[in-house]
Amino acid sequence: MTTTTLHAHWTSDARDCDGPISHFWDVAPAERYDPVTQAWGFDDEFDFETKMAEALVKVPYGGDGMVTITFDRTEDGRLRGTMSHETEEGYSARAFEVCKSDDFDPVPTQRDVYAERMGY
Give domain limits for the chain: 6-117
What distance in Å separates the CA atoms of residue 80 and residue 8, rounded to the nearest whole number? 9
Predicted local confidence at residue 113, as pLDDT: 76
Which CA distances in Å does 80 have to 17, 40, 95, 97?
Answer: 29, 28, 7, 4
What pLDDT band is residue 99 in, cutting at 50, 70 and 90? very high
Contact 94, 10 (CB under 8 A): yes
Q: Kindly report, residue by residue over 61-97, the tens digit of the pLDDT.
A: 566 678 889 999 999 899 999 999 888 888 889 999 9
Mean pLDDT over all residues of the chain? 84
pLDDT of residue 59: 65
What is the distance between the alpha carbons of residues 83 and 58, in angstroms, rounded to a whole number? 10
Show Cβ contacts of residue 26 under 8 Å, excluding neighbours closer than 6 positions.
7, 8, 9, 10, 104, 105, 106, 108
The mean per-residue pLDDT over the stretch 17-26 comes to: 89
How much is the pTM? Answer: 0.78
